[in-house]
Amino acid sequence: MRLIERTIAAIAPRYAAERAEAMVRLEKAQTQRASLRGIRAQYDGATSSRRTQGWRRTAKDANYELQGAAQVLAQTARDMVRNNPYAERAVSAIATDLVGTGITFQVLRGGAPDEELTALARAHFESTACDADGRQNLYGLQLQAARTVVESGSVLARYRARFARDGLPVPFQLQLLEPDHLDATRNGVFDRGSYVSGIQLDQLGTREAYWLFPQHPGSIAMRNLQATPVPARDVIHVFRQDRPGQQHGASWFAPVILPMQDFRDYQDAQLLRQKIASSWAVFRIGSAEELDDEQEEHDRAEFIEPGLIEDLPYGSDIKFANPPGVEGYADFTKISVRTFATGMNLPYDVFGDLEAVNFSSGRIGRIQYYRQLDSWTWNMLIPQFCEPAGAWFLRAAQLAGHITDDCTVAWTPPARAMLDVASEGMAIRDMVRAGLMDPETAIRERGEDPDALLARWKRWAEKVDAASLTFDCDPRRVTQVGNALQPSAGTPPRKD
């Protein structure tokens, strides 16, 4: 012990013991910090230095990080879509490629097609009867939902029960709502669960209700700002869940909002520079006779325009405008647009620049893009929007008196466009013939309903047989190389 510590121990033994314990704890803490610095030194991303001072590290969950930010991101993204052509193109491309002409459906009973319920579903979903606004069919609602998810981060759809006297095929409609309808200020814990941005959860984390405003908070016809709970079974909530436990989504523009806005400002500045560069002006000296007129008011040009010749008072020097040049615009534009494409998970050519794209690079990019589309379709749009909508249809059909026991709805995404129909079509045919792919899967990948396709083929075959005609596309009559086949026992005889 040092002299001061021995002195303290002699005068106040208890205080000296406490002081010694505190010194031991301090030494341990210093040792731990030194050890932690040694561990962090192995990972550059875990260090704290001037290079990492701009990082916003947080231990908060996804919902805490999105609190307040989700609404601001959505509002910013909407402004960009309204005024920025690249943002509008990104939203349109993703939504169109996800939905296309529509994610089609078929009602199955025990795994087999149910023609009666399928016809009823088509009468409802393939007309404006399914839309609470009476403007779109189900495929249009799918497209609008996809656009809203990309732009605003999420979309809501509400089950609207209807009366039999309304004359709908089944007594319900879907009402699409922007995420602004959620009371995002409702957060916290209550005796039976918790609230997360207007979503009511029970103690197990299961969604019980959504607290929704009756009108959009920014509506011109707003009458009531009091949110009311709507049962979760009557609300569809679609968003891309990026983290476990995440209860609502962020705009897909989040990674590129600042670069996209900066690029727009850069384009405006370049446009102004181009205007100035095209404005070659000459300032001419006035003559001696005009000297007496100098006292009179003389209108001067307040802006420069192409071909301007400005008269100056006598005795002035003539000056020629030296407008700035415009360089590097094309290269910077390509780099910026590629950044947007990367941040939005889009191929670069979606933004219209096909200069450096050939068949091989285009195909490689499309293969990756199609995988991304399939992930969004099967992991987000179909399970979160289409399947609940199908369940609502079966519920409403049962209320209307139809038997829906053991019924499900199968969904088929639109076909992806082939880059080379000749080679890709033959590859699919060879895979089916080799047994590596069943015909139904091949047909569904082309966006078709196998049973509906067979029914159309049957009708066509009956028409062809009735007309005593033979086409190369009829495998009952002609081989793959074009040779005629002998009629089999199950083939109708030719009338000729």
How high is the pLDDT of residue 306? 60
Task: Provide the phi-psi class of 194: left if phi over 0, else alpha when psi is between -120 and 50, else beta.
Answer: beta
What pLDDT was estimated at residue 308? 61
The span from the CA of 81 to the CA of 14, in Å, is 72
Residue indicated by tokens 């009458």? 223
Measured distance CA(135)–CA(362) in Å, rounded: 37
CA distance 25 to 46: 26
Q: For residue 389, what are its two tokens?
A: 């909508």
Which pLDDT belongs to residue 108?
94
pLDDT at 488: 56
pTM to 2 decimal places: 0.76
Residue 295 pLDDT: 46
Q: What are the pLDDT tens digits along the chain (496 aa)? A: 567 777 776 777 777 778 788 888 888 877 776 665 665 567 777 777 777 777 888 888 999 999 889 999 999 999 999 999 999 999 999 999 999 989 999 999 998 999 999 999 999 999 999 999 999 999 999 999 999 999 999 999 999 999 999 999 999 999 999 999 999 999 999 888 999 999 999 999 999 999 999 999 988 877 778 999 999 999 999 999 999 999 999 999 999 999 998 998 888 888 877 777 666 555 555 555 554 554 444 555 555 566 566 666 665 555 555 656 667 778 888 888 889 988 999 988 888 777 777 777 777 778 888 899 999 999 999 999 999 999 999 999 999 999 999 999 999 998 887 777 777 788 888 888 888 888 888 888 877 878 888 888 888 888 888 888 878 777 777 776 666 666 655 555 555 4
Tell me what pLDDT residue 291 has. 47
